[in-house]
Amino acid sequence: MSDKAALLARRERLLGRNMSLFYQDPAHIVRGEGVWLWDADGRRYLDCYNNVPHVGHCHPRVVEAIARQASTLNTHTRYLHEGILDYVERLTGTFDHPLNAAILTCTGSEANDIALRMAQAVTGKTGVIATNHTYHGNTAAVSQLSTRMPPVGGYGGHVRHVPAPDSYRPLGGEPGAAFASAFAAEVEKAIASLEDSPHGFSALIIDPFFANEGFPELPAGFLDQAVDAVRKAGGLVIADEVQPGFGRTGTHMWGHQRAGIIPEIVTLGKPMANGHPVGGVVANIDTLNAFRKVFRYFNTFGGNPVSCAAAMAVLDIIEGENLIENARRVGEYTRTAFKALAEKHSIIGDVRGSGLFMGTEFVLDRATKKPAPELATRIINAMRERGVLMGKIGVHECSTKIRPPMPFSKENADLMLSIFDDVLSSL
């Protein structure tokens, strides 16, 4: 039995079956630095996938901030401490009016769970709308929104799913205004259905970048009509920024700013503290107070001094290393190169994304846009064999998901692109 087979068997024995694992030949990663990962055999991989180590694997300033605070104090929010206040002040300073207060959690799932309950507290209703190809986390309430695996006992009557926007095969038949109106019409239909039910309508929850849906290319103002419909019905908009937040899209700090909307509630997670488990909910102080009046909320680990120190270091680095501009510059460069590769490889049907969040959609035939999910799996695995880690995503599971640590450079992109070209040529 190889070491890897032994690890796999041990994992299954100790952690149970069906834990997800990337790649046909799983990677045994033991060290990370910047945009690089090393496996147990000392082999180096270019990380084009992991968004959680936002400012780079093991960034020394984050490591130092964690070590310094961990060696001074780590308690919880039932004692007074400046750490959480300094952080929330700095964080909310990056949001538009009236988003001026926050609750800190340990995961994105918890943040979305709170957001749903905030919307309930404000509206007195429970009905929620989400897209039909989303994932917002793993608590019992939030699992009700995800369509990847139906919840035991089926979906509660309080959830309505609307079709996920797909710019390559747009609802309404074209990528412009008709596409936006078609999406808004689906939201209006779902609102009417909830209003006709005992649940009523409380919120529309969306990732404004629709990352799990395959990050469609949306026309400016795409969400405006849908958001208007929500407001007209007295509902709240929850923006899940777990994936596009913290400057990932290269144009704005937050995905909803890029989409041109101001939600009532914003949820945060993954990149917030570079891998240290920190999530959060940002809202207006009145919304927060409405929540705290109805649900007494305490989170043992959320907002602890070490988490806040790690999260603060991430904000320092994003700013100090100009990482949002880097994401814009390197992202544009990489997409231009992918478009050039599409001239050569007809399997690439679409290239899309923003900043350092992008992908190529693979099709069997450009005319029919028939998805190529099996080929996508082969390509991702071949890239891994050649030392480049990327993932797969999208409504049809046939797009690459490229979302590297934010210090990713043009040289890193060139390496990834040349191996990608070779892999596609060898199909």
Ligand X SMILES: Cc1ncc(COP(=O)(O)O)c(C=O)c1O
Positions touching ligand X (CB under 6 A) are: 107-109, 112, 135-138, 207, 212, 240, 242-243, 269, 279
Nearest distance from C-beta of residue 271 to ligand X, angstroms: 10
DSSP letter for 136, please: -
Residue 357's nearest CA partner among 302, 389, 421, 400 is 400
**In contact, 162 and 225? CB cutoff 8 Å:** no
Closest to ligand X by CB, 133 vs 158, is 133
Closest to ligand X by CB, 39 vs 397, is 397
Nearest distance from C-beta of residue 240 to ligand X, angstroms: 5
Closest to ligand X by CB, 212 vs 274, is 212
Residue 358's nearest CA partner among 381, 336, 325 is 336
DSSP letter for 306, please: H
Nearest distance from C-beta of residue 1 to ligand X, angstroms: 32
CA dihedral 149, 151, 155, 156 (to 10 degrees): -150
Q: Measure the CA–CA gap between 299 and 110, rounded to whole angstroms.
A: 10
Nearest distance from C-beta of residue 198 to ligand X, angstroms: 28
Phi and psi torsions of 370, nearest 5°? -65, 120
Closest to ligand X by CB, 304 vs 412, is 304
Nearest distance from C-beta of residue 253 to ligand X, angstroms: 17
User: 310-327: b or e for each residue (b if 16 or more CB lie within 10 Å)?
Assistant: bbbbbbebbeebebbebb
Closest to ligand X by CB, 349 vs 353, is 353
What does the block give as tokens for 282?
Answer: 């940002």
Closest to ligand X by CB, 400 vs 412, is 400
Nearest distance from C-beta of residue 52 to ligand X, angstroms: 9
Nearest distance from C-beta of residue 60 to ligand X, angstroms: 24
Closest to ligand X by CB, 243 vs 412, is 243
Alpha helices in 236-277 (DSSP H): 255-259
Q: Measure the CA–CA gap between 151 and 159, rounded to whole angstroms.
A: 12
